[in-house]
Amino acid sequence: MCHPSWARARAEAQRLEDLARSRGAHDRTDPGDTGPADVEAFIPAGTARGAGAVVTVGGSGG
Amino acid sequence: MDLTIHTSALPHDDPDASLAFYRDTLGFEVRSDVGQGRMRWITVGPVGRPDTSILLAPPAADPNITEDERRTITEMMAKGTYGWILLATHDLDATFEKVQAGDAEVVQEPTVQPYGVRDCAFRDPAGNLIRIQELS
């Protein structure tokens, strides 16, 4: 007989393991979206674009 | 004003695993190591560059963080969407080889990005994204 809090802890540990595994699989198949954000995509249409208007910095970490 | 960027913090979920990664795989020196168990605060940084450090800290240590928030943070860490940092080196290829040989989780091999930077990326043991870019 398992204490309910142990069952919850075990379920959470399992979920974290699953997430970590899917992280590895995702990184291997699609590393591209972990790079800096596409800054230009966030600039409203009609706004002047170019080297002076866009600063390339690290964006999304996710 | 005379400000420097002194210490950035990244979360760990296994202090010994994170310490081994930053010390043995990245070659950083350990500058301090306080606390015990999962409550460890470990300061590491590049040898010969004492002005910048990374603090490896327990996530959600603030008592004002709710249980739901703590769960979200640990899940985001596991998923790899929480912590990240940008490092830089003059020799990206040699660095990539060394880190890869250290059995780190590779996210991206050295690649020229559309925005002009050449970089590679790894995961640290806690799931933080470690992006390393090449200095010209």
Residue range of the domain that includes B83 = 7-134
Averaged pLDDT for residues B10-22: 97
Are the Cβ atoms of A56 and B83 closer than 8 angstroms? no
Averaged pLDDT for residues B19-38: 97
Are the Cβ atoms of B115 and A56 closer than 8 angstroms? yes
Look at residue A27 in the predicted model and tell me its pLDDT: 86
Look at residue A60 in the predicted model and tell me its pLDDT: 46
Look at residue A28 in the predicted model and tell me its pLDDT: 80
Would B47 be classed as within a structural domain?
A: yes
Binning pLDDT at 50, 70 and 90, where does residue A62 land? Answer: very low
Minimal C-alpha gap between A40 and chain B (Å): 10
CATH code for the domain of B61 = 3.10.180.10
Residues of A in contact with B14 (CB under 8 A): none
Q: How does pLDDT run across B44-95, given as a tens digit for each residue?
A: 999 999 999 999 999 989 999 999 999 999 999 999 999 999 999 999 999 9
Q: How does pLDDT run across A5-50, given as a tens digit for each residue?
A: 888 889 989 999 999 999 988 888 765 555 555 555 556 666 655 4
Are the Cβ atoms of A16 and B78 closer than 8 angstroms? yes
State the DSSP H helix or E strand holding residue B125, giving kind and residue range, or none if neither.
none
Q: Is B77 exposed, middle or buried (0-12, 13-18, 19+ CB in 10 A)?
A: buried
State the DSSP H helix or E strand holding residue B6, giving kind and residue range, or none if neither.
none
Number of domains in chain B: 1
Q: Rounded to an integer, what is the distance from CA A24 to the centroid of its chain? A: 12
Averaged pLDDT for residues B111-122: 94
Would B1 be classed as within a structural domain?
A: no
Would B2 be classed as within a structural domain?
A: no
Look at residue A61 in the predicted model and tell me its pLDDT: 46
The residue ranking higher by pLDDT, A53 or B112, is B112
The number of C-beta contacts closer than 8 angstroms across A and B is: 60
Look at residue B103 in the predicted model and tell me its pLDDT: 83
CA separation for the pair B81, A16 (Å, rounded) = 13
Would B28 be classed as within a structural domain?
A: yes
pLDDT at A55 > cutoff 90? no
Q: Looking at chain A, which residue has its C-alpha nearest residue B131?
A: A35
